[in-house]
Structure formats: structure tokens, C-alpha cells
Amino acid sequence: MDFSTFLQQIVNGASLGSMYALIAIGYTMVYGVLRLINFAHGDIMMVGAFMTYLATSMGMPFGIAVLFGILVSVAVGILTDKVAYKPLRDAPKISLLITAIGISFLLENLFNVLFGGVPRAFDAPEYLTKVLHLGEIYLPVTVIIIPIVTVFILTSVLWVLYRTKYGMAIRALAFDIPTVKLMGANADSIITIVFILGSALAAVGGIFYAISYPSIDPLMGVIVGLKAFAAAVLGGIGSVTGAVIGGFILGFTEIFVVALFPELGGYKDAFAFFFLILVLLFRPTGIMGEDLERSRF
């Protein structure tokens, strides 16, 4: 591998890792508060991509379509929490987990009925599909934008968590929900804020994924969502910074393994779960998860 190829893979890995990181943040925030692995999270990513596609096909400007996709995804996230998760908060965790899997299947089959199971082309504006050339390196505009957006979102989420009253409430809720209720805080409203943030980030990740790989289908969130979950566990589930680190590690690994060993290209999806197994075997708390019992997020 020559130096220009190496730099090209760095660029590709940063872009892919950023998309995993955006989705992983939502996983880790919901888990940090409710101790729930929201397996429907990847399908909310799919909802964001499909709703943006629907809005653009109806003639909406792309910026408005993106906002529409994010808002619908947020609405689905809130509805999922209120209808499916809230009634089961005092039930055994396995009940919540089974419900999350059920919501995932519901969304996948609903969109399969509404849009058909055939992949659809996702048309992004020309300014987002441009490819810049830096010597022998190809730089699609999205490859530049996605990591910048990810770092900005990470900074914003950390600012909310550590510099606002809502963030203080979220971190308090992560430790002890009954105590927060006794202190007069509305725990349900705080949990809703967590689902709003997580669903919005999933939608942004889904839209970027659809732009980068311009084809969408109702099952697109399954593998991507599971990889993002693996990234969250790798970074330390319950840690926002860890989720981003895990996403980047997973993205770089996936790209470089295929670049160095092309014959393993068909197995690239397996590496995410291989990492997950290794982490669970040797460091179950993840990279940033060591002090989570004392400091959430």
C-alpha cells in the first residue's frame, strides 16, 4: 500500500467511523439512562433516510427534507418510548429488550409494506456528491462534512450534558431514577429529551449513510445499527465520548482490513462483531467505561 492509498483509506475510515459514531451516541445515551439496549435504534436511522427520500421525491428542497426526516424520526422515537417502553419501565429488563426487538421488526415490515423491499436510489444535491481531488486522493464532499459534523455534535452533546440543567438532570437520572423523582424532577420528560437527542442523531447518521451509499431499503438499519451497537460497547456503553471513539475504531478497522486483505472483503461485516466478542472477553466495560459507576456519560 503506497502513501496516497494509505491517506485515501484514512479519509474513508474517518467518514465511515463518523456515521457509526453518530448512531452509537444514541445507543449509549438511552442505555446510560434506562439500561436499555434499544435495538430499534438502527431502524430509526432507516426512518430518517426514508422520510428524507420521501420529502425530496415530493419536491421539497433538500434542507427542508432533511429537517422533515429528522422530525419524523424524533416523533417515532418519542412514540416508541411512550407506547412501548414507558409501560414496562418497572418490568424485568428482558421485557424491554424483547419489546425493542419487536419495535425493530415492526418498523422494518411497515416500511417494507409502504415502500416495497426493493432498494431505492437516494438522490442527494450535486453539491453533496461532488468529488474533490487532492493529488491522487479522492475527497467526496460528504467525507469532509461527516467527521466535522460528528465532532460538532459530540461537542454539543457534551456541552448539554455538563453545562445545562437538562444535562445535569440526565446525568442524575442515569444514577437513580426514583431519587430524581423524589426531588421533584419530571423523569418522564427527561427521558423524552434523551430519546429526542438519540433519534435525531440516528436520523442524521442515516441521511449521511444514504448520501454516501446512495441506496436505501427497509433493512438498511439492521447491520449498521448492530455495528453502531458494537462501537458503543467497544468505546464503553454509557460513555458518549467512548461511543465516538468506538465508532472511529470500527470504521478505520473495517476500511483497512478490506484494503490490506481484499480477499476478506466479503467478511468485513463480521469484524464489528469480532471486536465485540474480544471486548466482552477482555474488557467488558469498554475503552472509556472504567469509571461509569461514578460518572455517567
Note the pLDDT of residue 69.
95
pLDDT attached to residue 101: 93
Other CB atoms within a 10 A radius of the CB of residue 109 amount to: 13
> What SS3 class is residue 136?
coil
* Cell numbers found for residue 132: 474533490
**Distance in angstroms (rounded) separating the CA atoms of residues 29 and 223:** 20
E-strand stretches of the chain: 120-121, 131-134, 137-140, 215-216
What single string gives the DSSP state of each residue in 67-132? HHHHHHHHHHHHHHIIIIIGGGTTS-HHHHHHHHHHHHHHHHHHHHHHH-SS-EE----HHHH-EE
As a whole number of angstroms, the distance between CA 134 and CA 118 comes to 36
Distance, CA of 230 to CA of 286 (rounded, Å)? 10
With contact defined as beta carbons under 8 Å apart, do 186 and 209 qualify?
no
Domains defined for the chain, CATH in brackets: 3-282 (1.10.3470)
* Structure confidence at residue 291 (pLDDT): 54
φ, ψ dihedrals at 248, nearest 5°: -65, -40
What is the rounded CA–CA span in Å between residue 175 and residue 32? 9
Q: How far apart are CA 165 and CA 216, in angstroms?
A: 38
pLDDT in the model for residue 256: 86
Cα–Cα distance, 217 to 52 (Å, whole number)? 13
Which residues, including other chains, have CB under 8 Å from residue 296's CB and lie 6 or more apart? 32, 171, 174, 175, 238
What is the predicted pLDDT for the residue at 292?
52
Contact 233, 280 (CB under 8 A): yes
Whether residue 182 contacts residue 100, with contact meaning beta carbons closer than 8 Å, is answered with no
**pLDDT (tens place) for every residue of the chain, 297 residues total:** 677 788 888 888 888 899 899 899 988 888 888 888 888 999 999 999 999 999 999 989 999 999 999 999 999 999 999 999 999 888 888 898 899 999 999 999 999 998 887 888 898 888 888 888 777 788 888 888 888 998 999 899 999 988 988 888 888 888 877 888 878 778 889 999 999 999 999 999 999 999 988 889 999 999 898 889 888 888 888 888 888 999 999 999 888 888 888 877 777 778 777 877 887 788 877 887 655 555 566
What local confidence, expressed as pLDDT, does residue 142 receive? 87
Please tell me the distance from the alpha carbon of residue 286 to that of residue 279, in angstroms, as a whole number: 6
In SS3 terms, 7-53 reads as: HHHHHHHHHHHHHHHHHHHHHHHHHHHHCCCCCCHHHHHHHHHHHHH
pTM of this prediction exceeds 0.85 = yes
Residue 269 DSSP SS3: helix
The predicted pLDDT at position 9 comes to 87
